[in-house]
Amino acid sequence: MDSDQVAVLRRWEDSGALWRVLELGADRATVGLFTCDGGEQVGSLTCEGPELVRFLARRDSNDDGSRSPWPGP
């Protein structure tokens, strides 16, 4: 299931929209989904599992200037 969540974030990012980490724990993450200008939160996703947590490691958002070392598609 959480590999699907990574795919959701990648599609969100590829479409030009923003996401931000709202909560990140050892095995659970909640990510806010925002409009392209980052102004309005239009949704969120929460997932338990290691893949999404690894994907989000050391990132606050897809607009923070860093790239994840995630080797996904």
Cα distance between the two ends of the chain: 16
Specify the pLDDT at position 23.
93
Q: How big is the chain, counted in residues?
A: 73
pTM: 0.76
Whose CA is closest to 46, among 4, 5, 3? 5
CA–CA separation, 30 and 22 (whole Å): 5
Confidence band, pLDDT 50/70/90 cuts, at residue 72: very low
Query: Is the CB of residue 67 less than 8 Å from the CB of residue 58?
Result: no
Specify the pLDDT at position 68.
46
Taking only the tens place, the pLDDT of each residue in 1-50 is 456 888 889 899 999 999 999 999 888 899 999 998 878 999 999 888 88
